[in-house]
Each structure stands twice: as C-alpha cells, then as structure tokens.
C-alpha cells in the first residue's frame, strides 16, 4: 500500500470487509463435510469409499476456504490524510479514489446482526460522482465514517492542500 501513496501522503486506516462475508460462501462445503460425516456412520458403505469421500470433502472445503480468503483479502478500504481508496481484485486490480475534500455525505446502515457482530454498510457521496460508493460489511462503520469526516474537515480547513492557507472567510 505504501507504494500507492502520493508523496507526502500518510496512511490513516486500512480495513477489509468483516469476516462474516466469508461465512455464506462456505456453507455448502461445510454442509458437504457434515453429510459425508453422517454417511460415515453407516457401516453398509465400504470403509474405502467412506475414507475417500471424507478426504475428498475435507480437501474441497480446504481449497474453497483458500479461495474465499483470497477473495476477502483482495478487497480493501483505505483512508489516507487526503483520499479514500477502494481497491478490489485478485488478478486484475480496480481502484476507486475519492478525494476527502470532495466528500459531501456519508451514511451508515447496520442490521441487527451487524450491530451485534460490529459491521455495517457505508455509502459515501462525493461532489461530481454519479452515485454513492457503497462499502458493504465494513467493520466498525461509525469509526470509519468519523475518520473520513474528521480528515475531510481538517483538509478543508487547510485549504485543500497541506501547507496552503485556507481562503479568507467573510462574516
């Protein structure tokens, strides 16, 4: 990440989606392992077939767990002192950058399960954007929102660029 930062820019926070997003894709392989374990209890199936089925189900679960983890790890949400960076992708990388001084509004939404487990959805509205950027299953969404707002206000108070005085205000 440090090679993606602009000169003089500092990293404030980097998050990945909450781990709950890995549960749904793993339900089918886990159900398969449970089914094979139940079939293992029946002595009518030859033991060689039971061993092969058990090892195959466990191998499939292990491989699928690796795929799900790589997909989870390939999506990140970064706040620097100047920008919000949304990166996705494993083999090809897509990046969306929102300048903090262009952020107009951030809304958060948490379901009951999200409140219990500590994750939620954030929508970032920025000036000139066609629509809001949606960040799903973000851990501690209020902390992320507050960090973006405080950094944006600090940047606006500095006139948009560090070291540049803010424009004069008239009362």
Residue 168 has pLDDT above 60, yes or no: no
Cα torsion angle, 3, 6, 9, 13, sign: negative
Identify the band that residue 166 occupies on the pLDDT scale cut at 50, 70 and 90. very low
109 φ, ψ (degrees, to nearest 5): -145, 130
The pLDDT tens digits for 90-128 are 889 999 999 999 999 999 999 999 999 999 999 999 987
Of 5-9, 24-28, 68-72, 121-125, the poorest mean pLDDT is in 5-9
Name residue, tokens 């706040």: 79
Reported for 164-171, long-range contacts at CB under 8 A and 24+ positions apart, including other chains, are none
Name residue, tokens 């540049």: 164
Identify the band that residue 22 occupies on the pLDDT scale cut at 50, 70 and 90. very high
* pLDDT at residue number 28: 93
């Amino acid at each position: 990440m440090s090679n993606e930062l602009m000169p003089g820019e500092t990293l404030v926070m980097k998050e990945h989606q909450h781990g709950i997003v890995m549960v749904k894709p793993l339900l089918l392989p886990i159900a398969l392992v449970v089914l094979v374990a139940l079939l293992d209890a029946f002595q009518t199936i030859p033991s060689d077939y039971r061993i092969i089925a058990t090892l195959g189900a466990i191998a499939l679960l292990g491989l699928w767990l690796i795929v799900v983890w790589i997909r989870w790890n390939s999506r990140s949400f970064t706040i620097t002192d100047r920008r919000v960076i949304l990166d996705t992708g494993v083999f090809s990388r897509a990046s969306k950058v929102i300048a903090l001084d262009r952020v107009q509004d951030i809304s958060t939404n948490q379901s009951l399960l999200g409140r219990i487990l500590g994750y939620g959805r954030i929508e970032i509205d920025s000036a000139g954007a066609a629509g809001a950027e949606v960040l799903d299953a973000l851990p501690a969404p209020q902390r992320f929102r507050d960090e973006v707002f405080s950094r944006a206000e600090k940047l606006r108070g500095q006139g948009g660029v560090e070291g540049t005085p803010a424009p004069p205000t008239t009362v």
